[in-house]
């Protein structure tokens, strides 16, 4: 058996693990960072992300005319999280600490490491309930210039510097099967050495074992991710409050995101909490060029598309595009079907559709202002969006509205949609635009959105009639449930120490990132405010690395 030694062992080379390893190594500790995938997968899911980060009272917000504060952000967070369980003690403490971080040193910490931000702040999870309910009162979604790969690059530079200094070693194709416990304390880990595999990032890799390995360490940090890539595990953990688990789902993460590390921590004695809390999207479409099994992409919608359930009933407020993800998920699943529909125009798709993921945003990922400027001109949507419209299995384009509805029925193989009824609902909505005031909640929301400079410039189309041919063609998009994040996991205190069944810290064992519910076993509570996942990995990874190195 191959045996290695270090002061700190970090399991998982995603954003949380990279942050933890860098912090511990910069404190002078000898660190081993390992991952079951190859070096091409360094950065994990963060590489594929849109790079959205939750910041509070930032210069970018102020330049866009947004007035934000730590108190308003915390009120929004708590109204969204809905903490109410006895085990929410540490998650709530982590939530308050994270909001302080987002309103304090987070932006400066990222900028010191070379991260810059797109100047227009996005407004995700707008809520649509009352002032105390879920959702962001103001725009807080800051996109890293360069999206997810820019965050990975910033942390990789730190790791390479520590590698050159001799304080860090990177070991890939190491699958951890057990955390080694001695006298009640974590003392390392052991598992299998997997055969090399040059499959592209995100694609499935082999599980052929070449031998065994062990790492002895004074501290072990588990940062192995969540369960979103294992659809059966997602169904097994599905909460009753959201309705029946979907029969058909797409996967927003690679297949190796299977939650093994969480179960390994539990086998070592760590307490798992809030396993039924999860974050899945309702605007998933099948990737026409898939990388992993059941590969789905999320549409990041503006507020203007009409949303219909599988039977052609328009979704009521607050279940509008971009307002309440989990509320809309529950609303859709109550129909007994897993899919829903957007109906929109070319004018809407051109301005309002973005696709989540670094690879779907070459202008932002490639840091090209020239390409960004193209979003503001012409009738065509950004290239990746047009590619999905032309090649995606879930997109239908027609000039005639009745033909559109007939094609929607043909796509599902069921006559669930009544063309006359659908057209009447669209016509009734269009009639609300004949006056500058109206009773339609969605049109009121659109007009509110356009009062925000960022939405008016690049995110929300001017209100217009969908049935006016001048705004066409008409487009329908079948939307699928798309798995993404695990909101519960290993319970930790504010030093990221894993807690045992008795609630006491387990000596030498720490957890960070999605495996720890981004901190505490679920700092988001039951719902998320968006832009909080990458930052949660950084925040919890930083805490774990510092604590394992004896700095906190």
Mapped onto helix, strand or coil, the DSSP state of residue 394 is coil
Q: What is the pLDDT of residue 371?
A: 86
Q: How high is the pLDDT of residue 551?
A: 67
**Band of pLDDT at residue 508, cut at 50, 70 and 90:** very high
pLDDT for res 452: 96
**Predicted pLDDT of residue 375:** 74
Using pLDDT thresholds of 50, 70 and 90, give the confidence band for residue 377.
Answer: confident
CB count within 10 Å of CB 62 equals 12
- Distance CA(236)–CA(28), nearest Å, equals 42
Q: How far apart are CA 392 and CA 284, in angstroms?
A: 12
3-state SS, one letter per residue, for 193-224: EECCCCCCCCCCCCCCEEEEEEEEEEEEEECC
Say which residue, 399 or 372, is predicted with more confidence. Answer: 399
The model's confidence at residue 374, banded by pLDDT at 50, 70 and 90, is confident
* Average pLDDT for 43-55: 96
Answering whether pTM is above 0.75, one says yes
Q: How far apart are CA 404 and CA 31, in angstroms?
A: 58
Answer with the residue of higher pLDDT: 373 or 468: 468
The Cβ of residue 237 has, within 10 Å, a number of other Cβ atoms equal to 17
Tokens of 169: 């070693």
**Tokens (6 digits) for 352:** 């309002």
Q: What is the pLDDT of residues 383-430, one digit of tens each?
A: 999 999 999 999 999 999 999 999 999 999 999 999 999 999 999 999
Give the mean pLDDT of 350-372. Answer: 91
Packing angle of the helix pair 401-412, 419-431 (nearest 10 deg): 130
What residues pair up with 3 in beta bridges, in sequence order?
214
Which segment of 90-99, 158-167, 368-377, 429-438 scores lowest on mean pLDDT? 368-377
Question: Over the range 382-405, which residues count as b (16 or more CB within 10 Å of their CB) and which as e?
Answer: bebbeebbeebebbbbbeebeebb
Structure token digits, residue 36: 């079951």
Please, which pLDDT band fits residue 379 given cuts at 50, 70 and 90? Answer: confident
Residue-wise pLDDT tens digits, 193-207? 999 999 999 999 999
CA nearest 246: which of 340, 168, 367, 323? 340
Q: What are phi and psi of 219, to 5 degrees?
A: -140, 140
Percent of the chain with pLDDT over 90: 95
> How many CB atoms neighbour CB 195 within 10 A?
13
pLDDT, tens digit (0-9, with 9 covering 90-100), for 156-208: 999 999 999 999 999 999 999 999 999 999 999 999 999 999 999 999 999 99
Instruction: Assign 340 to helix, strand or coil.
Output: strand
What local confidence, expressed as pLDDT, does residue 552 receive?
56
Is-contact 35 174, C-beta < 8 A? Answer: yes
- Tell me how far apart the alpha carbons of residues 243 and 258 are, in angstroms, rounded to a whole number: 23
Q: Is 463 exposed, middle or buried (0-12, 13-18, 19+ CB in 10 A)?
A: middle
The per-residue pLDDT of the chain, averaged, comes to: 96
User: Rounded to an integer, what distance in angstroms lies between the CA atom of residue 294 and that of residue 299?
Assistant: 16
Q: Could you tell me how far CA 329 lies from the centroid of its own chain? A: 15
pLDDT band of 504, cuts 50, 70, 90: very high
Question: How high is the pLDDT of residue 33?
Answer: 98
| Residue 315 in this model has a pLDDT that exceeds 90 | yes
């Amino acid at each position: 058996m191959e045996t290695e030694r270090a002061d700190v062992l970090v399991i998982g080379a995603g954003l949380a693990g990279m942050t933890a390893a860098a912090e511990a190594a910069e404190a002078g500790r000898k660190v081993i960072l390992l991952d079951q995938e190859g070096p091409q997968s360094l950065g994990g899911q963060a590489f594929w992300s849109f790079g959205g980060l939750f910041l509070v009272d930032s210069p970018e917000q102020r330049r866009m005319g947004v007035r934000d504060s730590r108190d308003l952000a915390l009120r929004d967070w708590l109204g969204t999280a809905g903490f109410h369980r006895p085990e929410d003690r540490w998650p709530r403490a982590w939530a308050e600490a994270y909001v302080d971080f987002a309103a304090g040193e987070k932006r400066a910490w990222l900028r010191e490491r070379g991260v810059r931000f797109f100047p227009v702040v996005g407004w995700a999870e707008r809520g649509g309930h009352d002032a105390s309910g879920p959702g962001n009162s103001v725009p807080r979604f800051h996109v890293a210039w360069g999206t997810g790969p820019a965050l990975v690059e910033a942390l990789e530079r730190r790791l390479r510097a520590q590698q050159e200094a001799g304080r860090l070693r990177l070991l890939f194709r190491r699958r951890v099967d057990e955390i080694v416990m001695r006298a009640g304390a974590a003392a390392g880990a052991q598992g299998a050495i997997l055969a090399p595999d040059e499959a592209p990032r995100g694609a499935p890799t082999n599980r052929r074992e070449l031998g065994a390995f062990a790492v002895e360490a004074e501290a072990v940090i588990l940062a192995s991710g969540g369960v979103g890539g294992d659809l059966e595990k997602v169904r097994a953990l599905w909460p009753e409050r959201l309705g029946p688990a979907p029969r058909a789902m797409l996967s927003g993460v690679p297949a190796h995101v299977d939650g093994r590390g969480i179960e390994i921590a539990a086998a070592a004695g760590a307490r798992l909490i809030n396993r039924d809390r999860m974050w899945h999207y309702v605007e998933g479409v099948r990737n026409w060029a898939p990388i992993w099994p059941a590969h789905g992409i999320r549409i990041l919608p503006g507020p203007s598309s009409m949303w219909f359930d599988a039977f052609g009933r328009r979704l009521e407020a607050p279940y509008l595009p971009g307002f309440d993800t989990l509320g809309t998920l529950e609303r859709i699943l109550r129909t007994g079907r897993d899919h829903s529909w957007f109906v929109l125009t070319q004018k809407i798709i051109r301005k309002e559709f973005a696709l989540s993921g670094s690879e779907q945003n070459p202008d932002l990922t490639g840091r090209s202002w020239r390409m960004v400027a193209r979003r503001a001109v012409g009738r065509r949507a950004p290239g990746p969006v047009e590619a999905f419209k032309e090649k995606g299995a879930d997109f239908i384009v027609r000039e005639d509205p009745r033909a559109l509805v007939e094609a929607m029925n043909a796509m599902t193989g069921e006559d669930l949609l009544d063309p006359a009824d659908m057209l009447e609902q669209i016509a009734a909505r269009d009639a609300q635009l004949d006056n500058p005031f109206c009773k339609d909640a969605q049109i009121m929301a659109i007009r509110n959105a356009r009062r925000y400079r960022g939405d008016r410039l690049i995110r929300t189309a001017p209100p217009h009639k969908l049935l006016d041919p001048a705004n066409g063609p008409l487009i329908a998009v079948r939307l699928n449930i798309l798995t993404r994040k695990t909101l519960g996991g290993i319970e930790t205190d504010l030093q990221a120490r894993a807690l045992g069944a008795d609630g006491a810290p387990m000596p030498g064992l720490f957890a960070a990132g999605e495996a720890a519910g981004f901190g505490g076993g679920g700092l988001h509570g039951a719902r998320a405010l968006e832009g909080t996942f990458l930052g949660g990995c950084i925040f919890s990874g930083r805490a774990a690395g510092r604590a394992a190195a004896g700095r906190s």
